[in-house]
Amino acid sequence: MIQTTDFSSVLKSGYYVDGQWKETQQHYDVTNPSTKALVAKVAYCSTKEAKEVVDSAAKALTAWQAITAKERAQRLKKWFDLIIANQKELATLLVTEQGKPLAEGMGEVVYAASFVEWFAEEAKRIYGDVIPAHKGDSRIVVIKQPVGVIAAITPWNFPLAMLTRKIAPALAAGCTAVIKPSEETPLSAHALVHLAEMAGIPAGVLNVVSGDAKAIGEVFTQDKRVRKISFTGSTKTGKFLYQACANTMKKMSLELGGNAAFIVFEDADIDAAVEGAMASKYRNTGQTCVCVNRFFVHDAVYENFTQKLAAAVKKLTVGDAFSEGATQGPLINQMAFDKVSNHVKDAIAKGAKVLVGGKPSELGGTFFEPTVLIDATKEMLMSSEETFGPISACYRFNSEEEVIALANDTDFGLSSYFYTQNLSRAWRIAEALECGMVAINEGMLSTEVAPFGGIKDSGIGREGSKYGIEEYLNIKYVLMGS
Ligand code: NAD
């Protein structure tokens, strides 16, 4: 029988090191973004605790690597079963600290678990190659080995899934890990390692600290034993960490910000495009790295698409994440709310018109009305920056060449979407868009089976799929002479 747990222990826990929960002198508050109520006081870790978790992960490495791939796979599979069995409890915790509607929280648990299941299978498929050498009977055998201790630094927007997307392949490959979740949402990480322990992941293989991000980051980037950092978060922090790792020449994965284009061609199925737009833009209250930031709509269907989008957005319900029927939660914090408000004000001042929303919600706090703006232009802040809120900005275009230039006119390169019925156009546009992921006639593209990641300022590396585990492996070749 798979055990369930209410996670009450993780709400008052400290930091997790060498299989134990330890306390710190100082604590910080985790609050519910919907109600602003205190959820937990969490151990405020700094340099000392960060060094302690790296020691723990380094100590656990040899024993974890000595376990067969099949056994690692079995423990990961058990972890997957436990995550699924505790779906409601995990979703409740996640929603309490993050604010997304409960139905979305339930969905994130399944999405997070899918990486654990996938990489449980991949653990058994870490193969090398045999290459005939140029001399006699010599052979070159290529083997793949775990990189060692890895550090996972994660954001608040998908606190469960962003973590399993890193930790599952790392563990499958034979690495041990130190984890630093976002200070906004540490409890999801605590709950995941609690379940990992129940699944038989040995002490020291997973360790968690949060608190003073700068001090913890300094230890993770400068310690030579940490051989890889896998970071998901803003481009600004990603660039800082990339530079900081140069000294110790670590492997890095950087999953950073986006500025996705969503193109509606004149031959698109407009109803399908609106449905895709809603899924892409408004889930997680617009706080998704792959969500649309710029809608480019052909002149011939501009009125039709924007009116239908506005009608769909009017039906959204803003509310406390646990309230019946809420589809839009609050923005994560005041800083996020200020950015969204500022982008909307800037766009209106520069000529954008509001079709729906356009202002803070009457609910107060950090709730913002889901918004549709038309007549957006390149000069607006939301054209060049990631808004990260429930705001659709719609731009017009007239030709394929024009829209490709517009869509690629950004430093980011994470995801893009477009709607067309023309197959040859579909390939032409998919290849011309400068980004790591393209969805054609679809609004949602994240899945554990595909290599998720970006180019340009959106980062380096891929997560998920057979490519995801390669990020945690070193290649070595052995020349066998004759
Ligand atoms: P953020 O960069 O502020 O923080 C991300 C993490 O980095 C947090 O854990 C934070 O505490 C930590 N951090 C901050 N400064 C640090 C330092 N000096 N050293 C070490 N760690 C440090 O990002 P955020 O606001 O939490 O997340 C939102 C951003 O994440 C958005 O830009 C979004 O697009 C991006 N994101 C990208 C993906 C992706 O897969 N490409 C997925 C989700 C979110």
Residue identifier of the C-alpha nearest atom 39 of ligand 1: 255
**Ranges 223-227, 309-313, 321-325: which has the least confidence:** 321-325
Give SS3 for 27. Answer: strand
Residue identifier of the C-alpha nearest atom 18 of ligand 1: 214
- pLDDT at site 181: 98
Atom number of ligand 1 nearest to Cα 165: 40
What backbone phi and psi angles, to 5 degrees, belong to 337?
A: -60, -45
- pLDDT at site 151: 99
Residue identifier of the C-alpha nearest atom 35 of ligand 1: 233
- Pocket test residue of 46, 153, 284, 456 for ligand 1, highest count of atoms within 8 A of CB: 153
> Across the chain, which distance is largest between two alpha carbons, in Å?
79
- pLDDT at site 122: 98
CB 331 within 8 A of CB 337: yes
Residue 8 pLDDT exceeds 90? no
- pLDDT at site 1: 65
- pLDDT at site 13: 78
Q: What is the pLDDT of residues 342-396, one digit of tens each?
A: 999 999 999 999 999 999 999 999 999 999 999 999 999 999 999 999 999 999 9
What backbone phi and psi angles, to 5 degrees, belong to 465?
A: 65, -175
24 burial (CB, 10 Å; 0-12 / 13-18 / 19+) is: middle
Residue 294 pLDDT exceeds 90? yes
Apex 191 CA angle, 187 and 193, nearest 5 = 115
Q: What is the pLDDT of residues 196-208, one digit of tens each?
A: 999 999 999 999 9
Residue identifier of the C-alpha nearest atom 19 of ligand 1: 217
Q: What is the pLDDT of residues 27-72, one digit of tens each?
A: 999 999 999 999 999 999 999 999 999 999 999 999 999 999 999 9
156 CA from centroid of ligand 1 (Å): 8
Pocket of ligand 1 (CB under 6 A): 153-158, 162, 180, 182-183, 213-214, 217, 232-234, 237, 240, 255-258, 289, 386, 414, 454, 459
User: Sorting pLDDT into bands at 50, 70 and 90, what band is 7?
Assistant: confident
155 CA from centroid of ligand 1 (Å): 4
Residue identifier of the C-alpha nearest atom 20 of ligand 1: 217
Residue 12 pLDDT exceeds 90? no
Place of tokens 């508050």: 29
Polymer length of the chain? 482
Residue identifier of the C-alpha nearest atom 10 of ligand 1: 182
Residue identifier of the C-alpha nearest atom 43 of ligand 1: 289
- pLDDT at site 251: 98
- Pocket test residue of 232, 291, 465 for ligand 1, highest count of atoms within 8 A of CB: 232
List 476's β-bridge partners, or say none.
143
Q: What is the pLDDT of residues 173-224, one digit of tens each?
A: 999 999 999 999 999 999 999 999 999 999 999 999 999 999 999 999 999 9
Residue 4 pLDDT exceeds 80? no
Q: Write down the pTM of the prediction.
A: 0.97
Residue 6 pLDDT exceeds 90? no
Helix (H), strand (E) at residue 164:
helix 161-173
182 CA from centroid of ligand 1 (Å): 7
- Pocket test residue of 157, 242, 415, 471 for ligand 1, highest count of atoms within 8 A of CB: 157
User: Sorting pLDDT into bands at 50, 70 and 90, what band is 2?
Assistant: confident
185 CA from centroid of ligand 1 (Å): 12
288 CA from centroid of ligand 1 (Å): 12
CB 250 within 8 A of CB 407: no
In this prediction, what percent of the chain has a pLDDT beyond 90? Answer: 96
- pLDDT at site 5: 81
**Ranges 6-20, 99-113, 154-168, 237-251: which has the least confidence:** 6-20
Atom number of ligand 1 nearest to Cα 153: 9
191 CA from centroid of ligand 1 (Å): 20
CB 95 within 8 A of CB 101: yes
Catalytic machinery residues: 255
In this prediction, what percent of the chain has a pLDDT beyond 70? Answer: 100
160 CA from centroid of ligand 1 (Å): 14
- pLDDT at site 134: 81
- Pocket test residue of 46, 289, 290 for ligand 1, highest count of atoms within 8 A of CB: 289
- pLDDT at site 136: 84
CB 77 within 8 A of CB 179: no
Residue 397 pLDDT exceeds 70? yes
Residue 3 pLDDT exceeds 80? no
Mean pLDDT calculated for residue range 111-115: 98
Mean pLDDT taken over the chain: 97
